[in-house]
Amino acid sequence: GILEKLRMELNSLHAKRKRVGKKWYWDLKPDYRLGEEIRIE
């Protein structure tokens, strides 16, 4: 389904869920370079 497709795309980007204090955020592509486009379809 949709969530499985999203999970596969996040895995292919090596996305990481990071914690800052009590909040969480996603680092969608840890090796991101300035100007690079990140697409999740």
Token pair listed for 34:
């300035």
pTM for the full predicted model: 0.67
DSSP 20: E
pLDDT, tens digit only, all 41 positions of the chain? 999 999 999 999 999 999 999 999 999 999 999 999 998 88
In the chain, the number of structural domains is 1
Q: Which residues form the domain of 6? A: 1-41
d(CA 41, CA 38): 10
